[in-house]
Chain A
Amino acid sequence: MSSPHAAPRPGATPVRRAVPPGLLFALPFLVLFAVFMVWPLVQGLWMSLTDASLSAHDPSFVGFDNFTEAFQDAEMWRALGHTVLFTLISTVPLVLVALVMALLVHTGLPGQWVWRLAFFAPYLLPVGVVSLLWMWLYQPDLGLYNHLLDVVGLGQVAWLSDESVAMWAMALTTLWWTVGFNFLLYLAALQAVPDHLYEAAALDGAGAWRRLWSITLPQLSRITMVITVLQILASLKVFDQIYLLTKGGPNGSTRPVVEYVYDVGFTGYRLGYASAISYVFFALVLIASAAQYAALRRREK
């Protein structure tokens, strides 16, 4: 027994000593973890090696056939490409706009409560609401954005049905919806910048811009790395808003890889193949994580 309380004490029953109390505390989590995390991971891997299907027949082992098929599947590569593209065009504004919002709010201008509510409230909306809202905003004849474009004399845009625009529309919706999260993280980091740095700079006669460039931004570089990492990992998992707004269309031009998994598995009934694609996607997430880990490590040195 490695428990520090394992030494026989008078009155302690042998049964109680048999199970270390720490293990009992961890047990509820460990059971849930085993049943809904470890087992599904193993089962998913097993399913990816079978032709498991939602239709009635018993699955049979097919080796790496699903993976071979996936690597030759142009639709899968296209979907992976969309996921990567979305990650690029959403992450950059989601970090930069959040930074600008936080810097402006942090200046201490009046109306703090209003700014926070304006920028963060969209994050609290369920994706169902976000998609209904933006479907209405993007509506070609009646939607807000085409009316506004009209007012300034620009032509109408087919936000959700033009292949060259739809993915940008997805990024725009996502920016509006979730930037508040990064904004709050930046705001918290800004308040943690030590006052004495600014006091010293003020004594040296540094102006507002100088203080921004020489103190604030360098102090924020670490949190910027962290926010970027979190954002990339979150963006790679995109599904909900795209599925609800375009169903991956037009012509599959916005379909991310998670939606491809859903389509293959639950619309096409091919659970085995869907599992294989899940694992390809998992590999992408792990590669992204490893790359970011390496980048952070290099930065630490």
Chain B
Amino acid sequence: MTSTELHVNTAPAAQAAGPIRELNITRRARGGRTNLTLGENRVSRVLALGALAVLALVWVLPASWALLTAFKSEADASDPAHWFWPRHGFTLHGFSTVWERGDLPLWMLNSLLISAAVTVITVLVSAMAGYAFSRTRFPGRRPLFVLTVAAVLVPPQILIVPWFQQMLTLHLLDTYAAVILPQTVAPVMVFILKKHFDSLPGELEEAARIDGAGHWRIFWSVLLPLSRPMLAAVGIFVFIGAWNNFLWPFVSTSDPALMTLPVGITSVKDAYGIQYAQTMASAVLAALPLVVVFVFFQRHIVKSVATTGLGGQ
């Protein structure tokens, strides 16, 4: 499966998986409700902690070992006798070699540009459509909304061939536009934002309307500022999806100068050949941006996944 893909489900019967509260990190860390689920039993606490530690170790070990590899010399990396701790200490050689090749920074920049463009366009366009479906009346509104919701069922994978044909006809292959535009159609985000606008009280809007504000003023100056947390949640989700998207960027670009990080990094795999330390150094550098962002914005990202990940159910 692809993590880049929106996890989506439209079955209306699956609505309301219960209110998703913001995950509160500090409260639980202080032990607010702990005894409600585990009890005071010391033995069960120790057992649970042990199980958690083992599970976390299993999850952390693969990446840690790869991180270790990235700091080894090539000779140590391919030495089966010292597969864990290197014989000759650590070196930054793998990183400097990979960085100096120059394509990695370029791919990062491409990924940043493309993901940022996809995020800005998707959030703006989806918010406007969500507003239109939620707060206005126009002919065809119902059927268009039903069509939008139905489109959530369409797997983007089946659109790859026609998209490619489209871009071929328009001579857009190997352009930023070709990578960006198809990713900006996000029916599920329209659905989420429509439901969000439905949930906002109408009074402020009424007041603004009495003051003579038009639709655009109401949308831009009243509703959007009220919706910042929701827009952030949607935006983060869209950004992670675009940053990690593989199939479409892979199909629509063949020019290394336009490749995104996930595509570019695998394209040189064979060029590195047997150089494991360099390969892992490139993987570490490619992983770094989003992991660093996560460390700083953990709460927002966790909340974004919890609210947006269910597809607005």
B157 within 8 A of A: yes
On whether A26 and B138 interact (CB within 8 A), knowing A37-B154, A101-B55, A136-B280, the answer reads yes
On whether A112 and B28 interact (CB within 8 A), knowing A29-B190, A128-B262, A198-B36, the answer reads yes
Residues of B165-195 contacting chain A, CB below 8 A: 165-166, 181-182, 184-185, 187, 190
B141 within 8 A of A: yes
A282 within 8 A of B: yes
Please give, as numbers and ranges, the residues of chain A lying within 8 Å of B44 by CB-CB distance: 208
What is the CA–CA distance of A285 and B151 in the complex, to the nearest angstrom? 13
Q: How large is the interface on B (under 10, 10 to 19, 20 to 34, 35 or more residues)?
A: 35 or more
B309 within 8 A of A: yes
Interface contact A113-B138, CB-CB below 8 Å: no
Residues of B109-151 contacting chain A, CB below 8 A: 124-126, 128-129, 131-133, 135-141, 144, 147-148, 151
Q: How large is the interface on A (under 10, 10 to 19, 20 to 34, 35 or more residues)?
A: 35 or more
A96 within 8 A of B: no
Interface contact B139-A240, CB-CB below 8 Å: no
B71 within 8 A of A: no
Please give, as numbers and ranges, the residues of chain A lying within 8 Å of B240 by CB-CB distance: 124
Interface string of B15-41 (1 = CB under 8 A from A): 001111101110011011110111101
On whether A23 and B262 interact (CB within 8 A), knowing A108-B31, A191-B21, the answer reads no
B160 within 8 A of A: yes
Interface contact A188-B20, CB-CB below 8 Å: yes
Interface string of A215-242 (1 = CB under 8 A from B): 0100000110110011101111111110
Please give, as numbers and ranges, the residues of chain B lying within 8 Å of A161 by CB-CB distance: none
**Which of B37, B48, B69: most chain A Cβ within 10 A?**
B37
Shortest Cβ distance from B264 into chain A, in angstroms? 8
Interface contact B251-A266, CB-CB below 8 Å: yes
Shortest Cβ distance from A229 into chain B, in angstroms? 5
Identity of the chain A residue whose Cβ is nearest the Cβ of B181 in the assembled complex? A36
Residues of A170-229 contacting chain B, CB below 8 A: 174, 176-178, 181, 184-185, 187-189, 191-192, 195, 198-199, 202, 207-208, 211-212, 216, 222-223, 225-226, 229
Please list the residues of chain B having a beta carbon within 8 angstroms of any beta carbon in chain A. 1-5, 7-11, 13-14, 17-21, 23-25, 28-29, 31-34, 36-39, 41, 44-45, 48-49, 51-52, 55-56, 59-63, 65-66, 69, 77-78, 80, 83-84, 124-126, 128-129, 131-133, 135-141, 144, 147-148, 151, 153-155, 157-166, 181-182, 184-185, 187, 190, 214-215, 219, 240, 243-244, 246-247, 251, 261-266, 269, 276, 279-280, 282-283, 286-287, 290-291, 294-295, 298, 302, 305-306, 309-311, 313
Q: Which 3 A-B pairs have the closest CB atoms?
A: A22-B136, A108-B34, A29-B129
Can you report 29 A-B residue pairs in the complex whose CB atoms are below 8 A from each other? A3-B138, A22-B138, A25-B215, A29-B185, A33-B151, A41-B154, A44-B159, A112-B28, A117-B295, A119-B55, A121-B294, A139-B276, A142-B80, A147-B83, A176-B62, A181-B7, A189-B18, A198-B33, A198-B37, A211-B36, A211-B39, A222-B18, A233-B9, A261-B158, A261-B160, A262-B251, A265-B160, A278-B157, A289-B10
